[in-house]
Amino acid sequence: MFRLIFLILLSALIFSCGGKSSTQPVVIARDTTIHDSVAYTMLSLDSTSVESYLAAEVPAKDLISRIRSFYNARNFQYAWFDEQGLVEQGKAFWNLHLSRPRPDLDSTESAKRLHSRMELLVFGDTTCAPEIIRNIEIDLTIHFMRIANSVFTPGVNPEDVQWHIPRRKIDEAAMLDSFLVASKTGWRPMNQAFYRLNEKMSEYALIGKEGGWPEIKSGKKKFKEGDEDSLIAVVKQRLIISGDLEKIDTSDVFTPTLTEAVKRMQRSYGIKETGIVDQALVTRLNVSVEERLKQMKINLERMRWMPQERDGILVNIPDFRLHVFEAGAVVMSMKIVVGKTATGTVIFSDQMENVVFSPYWNVPSSIVRNEMVGRLTESYLRKNNMEIVGNSGGLPIVRQKPGPGNSLGKVKFIFPNR
């Protein structure tokens, strides 16, 4: 079954954070089938000391339950250490953590203590007492789960933004198991758009620290390939800074290379790819890097909701395009028609249940009332391949017949109206 996801990108909304569920997670039973002969390490934790440490260090009862479940599932075998010391997954997690610092999660005394101990283990040449190793083991698990919850849990209520997308369920223990297995080959539990946008945010943050990009002043209304003007050099500088023009060229001449770069920018903004620098493009290029970062931050929040792109249909509303994914790769793209601001397209994710080929389009009564009444002549109906099939409340019931000009196209996807 295909899943359809409607996305809104490059628009700014004000979100309000939703309260987290107070439901206590179910603690899984201890798996006693795991023992020294089938475990990857001979190191094991004493369950009583773990409980005592968690009671002293972790105030959140739901987090304690998740950590308890994690160690129950491995019969309290160590996760981050073996007989030789800190395992590669431990080093990988710490490098990942250092590359994406979280000041709000690193300000506690236990986090500061973990930082100093990990510096010695990862970058120093030292050994620690067994009790310290035990504490680091538990602290790493606590820290991983806190980061996973903070990074991957959406901070938006679907009701606030009128999204019909199921809340992404976060299982920190399952994520940790997945990380321990896959960290060497690359651990990416979110969709690829999330990581691409996150990487672009890092690039733009660096651009902001270095002063941003220059404003393109109003001048000639349009510039095209072959033109020569001092503002063309400013456009080139702007695109070089943002990484959209690779070749270092500061001349005043509008080159073929600039034409291709301009087309790429127009494509990214969802405007017609003319290769011409006009006021519409200049207006977008003049948006500050700080404002773009705000938009990226909002859209990164949206990306947390999206399932991974395996098999499905994804509709990018501002780009007016539909993309078909198979095994995570785009195998088909096409143009689509979406709603206007006043009659916006609904944001939802669901399983597709039916497909109709050569569909009729039953024109909504609001469109008949606001756009067609007074125009429904015989010639109008014939021209638009429409017919009147009834009357409701004094309003004609209009439908468009199947055909090349049908507003629904050649295929109609039907989803449950839940």
State the maximum Cα–Cα separation within the chain, in Å, rounded to a whole number. Answer: 90
The angle at the Cα of 158, spanning 314 to 153, to the nearest 5 degrees, equals 85
Render pLDDT for 251-309 as a digit per residue (tens, 0 to 9): 999 999 999 999 999 988 878 899 999 998 999 999 999 999 988 887 877 777 666 65
* pLDDT surpassing 80 at residue 85: yes
For the ranges 39-48, 73-82, 169-178, the lowest mean pLDDT is seen at: 169-178
> How far are the Cα atoms of 23, 49, 196, 237 from residue 212, in angstroms, in the given order?
45, 52, 20, 11
Per-residue confidence band for 165, with pLDDT thresholds at 50, 70 and 90: low
pLDDT of amino acid 146: 84
The secondary structure of 173-225 as a DSSP string is HHHHHHHHHHTTT----S-HHHHHHHHHHHHHHHHHHTT--------SS-B-T
pLDDT of amino acid 379: 93
Higher per-residue pLDDT: 360 or 175: 360
For the ranges 6-15, 165-174, 320-329, the lowest mean pLDDT is seen at: 6-15
pTM for the model stands at 0.55
Give the mean model confidence (pLDDT) for residues 21-25.
52
Most confident option among 25-39, 67-81, 335-349: 67-81
Q: Does residue 208 contact residue 237 with C-beta atoms inside 8 Å?
A: no
pLDDT of amino acid 293: 92
Per-residue confidence band for 322, with pLDDT thresholds at 50, 70 and 90: confident
In terms of phi and psi (left: phi > 0; alpha: psi -120 to 50; beta: otherwise), the region of 327 is left
* pLDDT surpassing 50 at residue 99: yes
Assigned token pair, 159: 């009701």
Higher per-residue pLDDT: 6 or 68: 68
The angle at the Cα of 149, spanning 13 to 124, to the nearest 5 degrees, equals 120
Per-residue confidence band for 19, with pLDDT thresholds at 50, 70 and 90: very low
Render pLDDT for 222-247 as a digit per residue (tens, 0 to 9): 899 999 999 999 999 999 999 999 87
Report CA 172 to chain centroid distance, whole Å: 18
Domains and CATH numbers, the chain: 26-152 (no CATH), 213-287 (1.10.101.10), 353-414 (no CATH)
pLDDT of amino acid 360: 93
* pLDDT surpassing 60 at residue 23: no
The angle at the Cα of 130, spanning 126 to 136, to the nearest 5 degrees, equals 75
